[in-house]
């Protein structure tokens, strides 16, 4: 008996009445068959569901058979046929080198996000990401890391404030991919990743139910790292820097409190009205750093707000930008990469939606979740720190980065959704 299950695609409707017409995959003597129609977007979703169904059946190895398996169909199947521990095996029908690269990067991103918080913390996150980028970038990659009170000496007060209560110190790491290896080479893009390796909510403490998955709050940093790795493997020849803004948001006598005021490097003062709105506080430092580089493209990614997930669900990521041309191009890129991305509102006046009587702005609104329009208000807060008044800046609120439980499309845990779109944006 074969150690793999053959999987076929057919455009001919099934004749057997033993299976429901809605079944994503039908088993027979020759293996498994996925019946597809005329709408390719629907086909890709059905193929991904078929992958999940075969995983749920306990199938541990498959062989994709036939000319109907193009690259995107195979990748859709692979996304569904990925258990949480990434142990399933696939024999590709074609495009093996490209698909193996995609699968390897996605599995690494997912594995990193799924790591338990006793294994992943600010310094180890920075080290693991740096090691992965160096593995593909070689001598073109250099790493600069600031740890604990070193952040204060450089003026990175947001990251330090959020992370100072933990015994594991906060970190800002700059991973510089410079293929020319010329010291004065211009920086083409800066990626700024939220790397909160565990988020208790601080004194605005989360419920136990809301805290149990907060190991995933470094998903932005992991997703951007995956994007950079994939872009390098695809031949990226631009200088790109990845900034990891990492901390554990915990509670002790030294933790930051409601009513505290942070003064940022650019002089902006921020009143803390919610210690669970910590991601934007660390990203602000990263965006200020990006501005210092004069890079024309700045992309940040973060599991930033529950409001974004309420708006777009967990199948999409949310995009914010005041640069309409860049936003439209990014949406087109996402469509080309078959990753679901939806633009949510952001105007310059969103900067004023978290007012403070004692500082330039508050970090949120006092109510749970930041109140109405919370995702846009969070993006508006970041806009205060984005270079060039937001031109050339994209903010990804990655609502689809993690699933608390398995769905018909995804296994429990991290998805790596978004890394292809960001990689393709870097390569353009």
Give the pLDDT score at 1. 42
CATH number, domain 109-427, options 1.10.3720.10, 3.40.630.10, 3.10.20.30, 3.30.565.10: 3.40.630.10
Question: Which residue, chain included where needed, has tokens 């949480």?
Answer: 84
Average per-residue pLDDT in the chain?
Answer: 96
**Structure tokens given for 393:** 């800046």
| Confidence check: pLDDT of 113 > 80 | yes
Collapsing DSSP to helix, strand or coil, 232 comes out as: helix
Task: Report DSSP state, residue 12.
Answer: S
pTM: 0.97
Provide the annotated active-site residues: 206, 280
Q: List the one residue out of 272, 257, 279, 159 whose CA is nearest residue 203.
A: 257
Q: Where are the domains of the chain?
A: 5-94, 109-427
Q: Which tens digit of pLDDT belongs to each residue from 288-337?
A: 999 999 999 999 999 999 999 999 999 999 999 999 999 999 999 999 99
| Separation between Cα atoms, residue 333 and residue 399, nearest integer Å | 18
402 Cβ contact partners less than 8 Å away, ≥ 6 residues apart: 113, 213, 216, 219, 303, 413, 414, 415
- Average pLDDT value for residue range 411-417: 97
């Amino acid at each position: 008996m074969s150690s793999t299950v053959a999987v076929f695609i057919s455009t001919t409707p099934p004749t057997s009445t033993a299976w429901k017409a809605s079944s994503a995959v039908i088993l027979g003597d020759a293996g498994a068959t996925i019946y597809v129609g005329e709408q390719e977007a629907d086909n890709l979703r059905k193929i991904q569901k078929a992958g999940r169904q075969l995983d749920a059946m306990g199938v541990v190895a498959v062989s994709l058979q036939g000319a109907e398996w193009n690259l995107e169909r195979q990748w859709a199947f692979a996304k569904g046929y990925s258990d949480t521990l990434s142990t399933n095996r696939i024999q590709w029908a074609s495009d093996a080198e490209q698909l193996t690269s995609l699968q390897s990067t996605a599995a690494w991103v997912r594995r990193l996000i799924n790591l338990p918080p006793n294994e992943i913390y600010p310094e180890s996150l920075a080290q693991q990401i740096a090691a992965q980028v160096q593995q593909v970038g070689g001598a073109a990659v250099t790493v600069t890391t600031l740890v604990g009170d070193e952040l204060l000496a450089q003026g990175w007060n947001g990251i330090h404030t959020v992370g100072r209560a933990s015994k594991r110190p906060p970190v800002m790491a700059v991973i510089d991919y410079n293929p020319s290896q010329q010291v004065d080479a211009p920086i083409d893009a800066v990626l700024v990743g939220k790397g909160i390796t565990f988020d208790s909510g601080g004194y605005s403490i989360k419920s136990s139910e809301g805290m149990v998955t907060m190991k995933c709050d470094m998903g932005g940093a992991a997703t951007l790292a995956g994007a950079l790795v994939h872009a390098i493997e695809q031949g990226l020849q631009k200088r790109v820097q990845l900034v990891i803004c990492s901390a554990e948001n915990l509670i002790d006598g030294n933790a930051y409190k409601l009513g505290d005021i942070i003064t940022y490097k650019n002089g902006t003062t921020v009143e803390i009205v919610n210690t669970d709105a910590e991601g934007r506080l660390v990203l602000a430092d990263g965006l200020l750093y990006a501005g210092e580089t004069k890079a024309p493209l700045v992309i940040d990614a973060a599991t930033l707000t529950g409001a974004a997930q309420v708006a777009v669900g967990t199948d999409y990521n949310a995009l914010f930008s005041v640069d309409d041309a860049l936003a439209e191009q990014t949406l087109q890129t996402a469509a080309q990469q078959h990753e679901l991305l939806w633009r949510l509102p952001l105007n310059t006046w969103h900067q004023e939606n978290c007012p403070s009587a004692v500082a330039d702005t508050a970090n949120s609104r006092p109510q749970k979740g930041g109140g109405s329009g919370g995702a846009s208000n969070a993006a508006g807060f970041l806009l205060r720190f984005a270079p060039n008044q937001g031109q050339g800046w994209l903010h990804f609120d990655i609502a689809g980065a993690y699933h608390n439980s398995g769905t018909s499309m995804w296994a429990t845990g991290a998805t790596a959704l978004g890394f292809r779109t960001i990689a393709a944006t870097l390569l353009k």
